[in-house]
Amino acid sequence: MLRFAVIFLAVMASSTCQKYGCLEGDTQKLEPSPEPSIQECTLYSKSSCCYADFTKQLAHSPVIKVSNSYWNRCGQLSKSCEDFTKKIECFYRCSPHAARWIHPNNTAAIQAVPLCQSFCDDWYEACKDDSICVRNWLTDWEWDKRGENHCKNKCIPYREMYTNGTDMCQSMWGESFKVSESSCLCLQMNKKDSIAIKYLLSKSSEESSSSSSSSSSEERSCQNKLLKFEKLKKKEGEKTK
């Protein structure tokens, strides 16, 4: 009986991990697959929900638009701000894990993806002196008949539109992202995400309401894995010098 229970739980865990395909969208595939020739969004080259052709739009800086959404309605983004904006766009369109946070009412949208506080703070710092005319990039534009976005209001600095990194992360893309209280069980849009993703994918809705001691244990395990990852990368860096 115990053996059956173990096998059943293993099958259930496997099916849970495999049930996520890709978000619906004009640039997304049905299922993730390798894209070795990808020019941008290389974090997802081994398993990508977008085609390599899409990333050509992001590969040439300054980026003017993605699909019909123009990024330069208040002038070109600075290189540092553009780099962070690319990371968000790459996650949404290319990450094989984005559908883990699919919006319950919109299969082309995400909801409450946990971002690390440090990522949000760095993103805000990179963009605070750039200009913007909408608070929510998903809903606040004026769209013309061709589906292109235009400002309704005057352009102001990011630092005037958003109070801080938390405000920006939880406002710019509507409900798409939330700032996580964890320092490890969250995404930074870099290679370190491979550690956090393993824990985040294993967390079911029931687990999210589990005891604080269990959450603390997961956080410690994640931190230990991350520490080992960073030590390994440091050694690899020293070897290449």
Rounded Cα gap, residues 215 and 213, in angstroms: 5
What is the model's pLDDT at position 231?
A: 66
**Is the per-residue pLDDT at 74 higher than 90?**
yes
Rounded Cα gap, residues 11 and 201, in angstroms: 15
What is the model's pLDDT at position 13?
A: 35
- State percent of the chain over pLDDT 70: 80
User: Cα angle at 203 between 201 and 209, to 5 degrees?
Assistant: 155
What is the model's pLDDT at position 232?
A: 65
Say how many CA atoms lie within 13 Å of 48 toward its Cβ. 24
Q: What is the DSSP letter of 144?
A: -
Rounded Cα gap, residues 18 and 12, in angstroms: 10
**Is the per-residue pLDDT at 14 higher than 70?**
no
The 10s digit of each residue's pLDDT in 106-133 is 999 999 999 999 999 999 999 999 999 9
Domain boundaries, the chain: 21-203+217-236
pLDDT class for 8, splitting at 50, 70, 90?
very low
Radius of gyration of the CA atoms of the chain, in A = 19
The 10s digit of each residue's pLDDT in 31-70 is 999 999 999 999 999 999 999 999 998 998 899 999 889 9
The 10s digit of each residue's pLDDT in 144-202 is 999 999 999 999 999 999 999 999 999 999 999 999 988 889 999 999 999 899 888 77
Query: What value does the mean pLDDT take over residues 215-221?
Result: 71
